[in-house]
C-alpha cells in the first residue's frame, strides 16, 4: 500500500478543510489537491500546493490587471502562440509543489532536472522503510542491442523468475543487514544511520517534496513522458500529466500539441521534407544526414501518430 493509514488520515483531514482565498483557484487542480495517485508498486504522486492557472499565464504575457475585451478563446490562442514560439516566462508564473514517493534509482534520474526546489527524506536522521520496487514480470527485459540506454526483448520463463528472485532476495538481505547495523539491542552500539544507508540497494523507496514552475515542469514532462524514457520514470510523468491537464487545460493542450506531439527538425530534415512534397525521391545517402539522424527522421515521417 503506497499510502500509510496515517498518511491517508492526514489527506482526508486536509481535504475536509475549506479556506477563503482571493488568489486564483483552478477547479481542476482542487480535485487533485492532497490526493495520492499510486505509481509503481509502492510509489505515489500528490499535489501539496500550487499557484496560478491559465489566466495567470495570459496576465503575465499581457502585463495587465484588466480583462479588457479578451475572452477564453483569446486566452487559449495567446497560450498557444506563447508555446509555439517558445516564450517561456509567462509559464513560469505558475508553480506546483508535489510530494513524490519513488525508488532511489528513479530519483537519481529525476534530480538531473535541476530547475526545481527539492527536499528529500533524510536517511541520515530517519530509518528507511522496508519497501523496494520489484518490477512486474512483463516489465523485465534484456539489454537493447540498438540503444545502450534502453530495453530490448522481454525476459520470460525461468530467466525472468530468476531475476525476480535475485531482486527480492538481495533487497531483503541488504535491509536485514541494515537493520542489524543500526540496531542498539542487547547493549550494542549501532552504526550511524548515515553510514548504514550505503548498504541499501537503489530500488529502495525514498520521498521528497518537489516544487517547480510550469515552464520547467513542461520540460521535464517532454523528456520523461516520452515513449523513449525509462518506464519507471515515465509512469510518474504520465501521472503528473493528468494532474497538469486538469490544472491548466489550455496550457497543457498547447504543450501536448507542440511538445509531446511535435518534433524538432533540423535544416536538413526540413529540406528533405520540401523535396518529398515536391515529389522527389530522398534517401539517406542524398539527405546529407548520418544513418542515426536518418533513422530518427524517418521515425517522425512514418509515425502514424
In angstroms, the CA 204 to CA 249 distance is 35
Grid coordinates given for 285: 545517402
Helix ranges, the chain (H): 5-16, 27-30, 54-62, 72-84, 104-110, 157-182, 193-196, 214-224, 231-247, 249-255, 267-277, 284-287, 291-301
Q: Show which residues are catalytic.
A: 224
Closest of 15, 11, 14, 7 to residue 207, by C-alpha: 7
Task: Match 507542440 to its residue by C-alpha cell.
Answer: 258
Say if CB 123 and CB 194 are below 8 A apart.
yes
Closest of 217, 215, 238 to residue 226, by C-alpha: 238
Phi and psi of 184, rounded to 5°? -120, 20
Task: Match 517532454 to its residue by C-alpha cell.
Answer: 222
Amino acid at each position: 500500500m503506497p499510502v500509510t493509514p496515517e498518511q491517508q488520515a492526514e489527506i482526508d483531514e486536509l481535504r475536509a478543510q475549506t479556506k477563503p482565498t482571493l488568489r486564483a483557484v483552478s477547479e481542476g487542480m482542487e480535485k487533485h489537491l492532497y490526493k495520492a495517485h499510486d505509481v509503481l508498486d509502492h510509489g505515489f504522486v500528490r499535489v501539496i500546493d500550487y499557484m496560478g492557472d491559465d489566466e495567470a499565464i495570459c496576465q503575465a504575457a499581457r502585463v495587465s490587471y484588466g480583462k479588457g475585451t479578451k475572452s477564453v478563446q483569446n486566452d487559449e490562442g495567446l497560450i498557444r502562440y506563447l508555446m509555439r514560439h517558445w516564450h517561456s516566462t509567462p509559464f513560469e508564473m505558475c508553480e506546483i509543489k508535489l510530494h513524490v514517493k519513488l525508488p532511489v534509482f528513479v530519483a537519481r534520474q529525476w534530480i538531473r532536472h535541476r530547475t526545481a526546489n527539492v527536499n528529500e527524506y533524510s536517511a541520515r536522521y530517519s530509518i528507511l522503510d522496508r519497501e523496494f520496487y520489484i518490477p512486474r514480470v512483463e516489465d523485465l527485459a534484456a539489454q537493447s542491442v540498438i540503444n545502450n540506454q534502453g530495453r530490448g526483448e522481454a525476459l520470460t520463463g525461468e530467466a525472468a523468475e530468476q531475476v525476480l528472485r535475485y531482486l527480492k532476495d538481495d533487497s531483503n538481505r541488504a535491509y536485514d543487514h541494515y537493520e542489524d547495523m543500526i540496531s542498539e539491542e542487547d547493549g550494542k552500539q549501532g552504526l550511524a544511520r548515515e553510514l548504514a544507508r550505503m548498504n541499501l540497494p537503489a530500488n529502495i523507496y525514498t520521498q521528497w517534496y518537489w516544487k517547480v514552475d510550469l515552464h520547467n515542469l513542461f520540460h521535464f514532462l517532454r523528456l520523461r513522458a516520452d515513449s523513449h524514457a525509462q518506464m519507471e520514470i515515465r509512469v510518474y510523468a504520465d501521472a503528473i500529466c493528468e494532474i497538469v491537464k486538469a490544472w491548466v487545460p489550455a496550457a497543457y493542450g498547447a504543450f501536448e500539441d507542440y511538445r509531446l506531439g511535435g518534433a524538432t527538425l533540423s535544416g536538413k530534415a526540413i529540406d528533405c521534407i520540401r523535396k518529398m512534397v515536391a515529389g522527389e525521391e530522398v534517401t539517406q545517402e542524398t539527405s546529407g544526414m548520418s544513418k542515426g539522424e536518418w533513422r530518427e527522421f524517418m521515425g517522425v515521417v512514418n509515425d502514424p501518430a
